Amino acid sequence: MKATPENQRTLLDIADLDRRITQTERARTKPAQGARINELAALRQRQLGELTTLTGVLDDAKAELSRLESDVALAAQRRDKDAERLAVATDPKQAQALENEIESLGRRISMLEDSELDVMGGVEEAQTAVDAQQALIDQTQAEGAGLTAAAKADIAAATTEGEHLARDRAALAASVAADLLAEYERRASRGIGVGLLRRGICEGCQMVLAGTDMNDVRRAAPDDVLSCPECGAILVRTDESGL
């Protein structure tokens, strides 16, 4: 294949743009924050599951406290009614029975109130645990929101840069012979498309060309399209090639 030295050197610029386009595409589709965002999403799911469990414990404790408060209120109401009846009772036996029931209700109310205090402590502990878990979730969500915003900004920047690079590449590609460009793209799709020969080294694969290969390069015409014997890339010659 034949191609002007200028066209061959342009392939180096196109290859550089292709490398940068690949980088921006990676930044657009796989932002640096992605892994941590995924970790935080999984962490938040676990934290929400723990919050559900803790909330269940709190709800049970509140329900138990409500039941005890209701029992205390009913016992106190019954005791007060018995006290009213005792105040007007004329039958000694009835009065004694009312006194016994009032005493029994008093003991029950005292026991219920003791239990009520214990359960109130449990409610406070459960509420503290729920609040602490919610704080962890809020912290996780805040970090995730910050990283998501940063990722969106990076994606937008990468998208814009990619569009600029694609326009620059199209302009350069238009200046290169179609068959040369197609050959470069074919080779690039399989590995290294083009490499600069600098001081006897192919910069595509960083391999030193053997003496016989260098002699072949020296004998080639300037418009010959050469290949690196190591990596198969189009070998571009300049004043730095060491010929």
Domain 5-26+174-241, architecture per CATH: Orthogonal Bundle (1.10)
pLDDT tens digits, one per residue of 37-67: 999 999 999 999 999 999 999 999 999 999 9
Band (243; pLDDT cuts 50, 70, 90): confident
What is the CA angle 207-205-183, rounded to 5?
Answer: 125
Q: One fold for both 5-26+174-241 and 28-160?
A: yes
pLDDT tens digits, one per residue of 71-102: 999 999 999 999 999 888 888 899 899 899 99
Domain parsing of the chain, residue ranges: 5-26+174-241, 28-160
- Whether pTM exceeds 0.75: no
The topology under which CATH files domain 28-160 is Helix Hairpins (1.10.287)
Band (25; pLDDT cuts 50, 70, 90): very high
